[in-house]
Amino acid sequence: MSFNKIILIGNLGRDPELRYTPQGTPVCSFTVATNEKRKDKAGEMQDFTTWFRVTLWGRQAETASQYLTKGRPIYVEGRLRLEEWTDRDGKQRNTLEVHATDMQFIGGGRADEAGATGTKPSPSPDNPSSDGEVSDDDIPF
């Protein structure tokens, strides 16, 4: 048995890009930055940022493109993949990519300003929070 699940709480690095497959399925892509503080080699506290590319599909893709903007905090669940590619200079590059299965808005933002409703997920056994907010009790670490 194997298991691949990642949970990210971070900020959008750019506005989402919405496109459609030839079959008409919505696909939304954006980046999420997570930050952590740790000591560097000199013993000084430093901020370290890790960037993830995130892809959402279907109705969640449309919702993300409508309400998310650069800098907005977000909660994302999905499967992590390491994408390997060659850049223009011929150098081998790696990118962490998340194929998202769930997304939740955190805090205020465009959705709250516009008075939007229906953007928060409904309760389920995996997501007991009915208000869509992530509390400390929801974070598994």
Q: According to the model, what pLDDT value does residue 113 have?
A: 44
In a domain, 133, yes or no: no
In a domain, 134, yes or no: no
Alpha helices in the chain (DSSP H): 58-67, 110-113
Report the CATH number at residue 110. Answer: 2.40.50.140
72 and 11 in contact (C-beta within 8 Å)? yes
In a domain, 141, yes or no: no
pLDDT tens per residue across span 85-138: 899 999 999 888 999 999 999 876 544 444 333 334 433 344 444 444 445 554
pLDDT tens per residue across span 21-53: 999 999 999 999 999 988 888 888 989 999 999
In a domain, 140, yes or no: no
- CA-angle at 14, arms to 97 and 30, nearest 5°: 30
Number of domain units in the chain:
1
9 and 75 in contact (C-beta within 8 Å)? yes
> What's the whole-model pTM score?
0.67
The domain in which residue 88 lies consists of: 6-116
Distances (CA, A) of 35 to 59, 78, 111, 129: 28, 19, 24, 25
In a domain, 127, yes or no: no
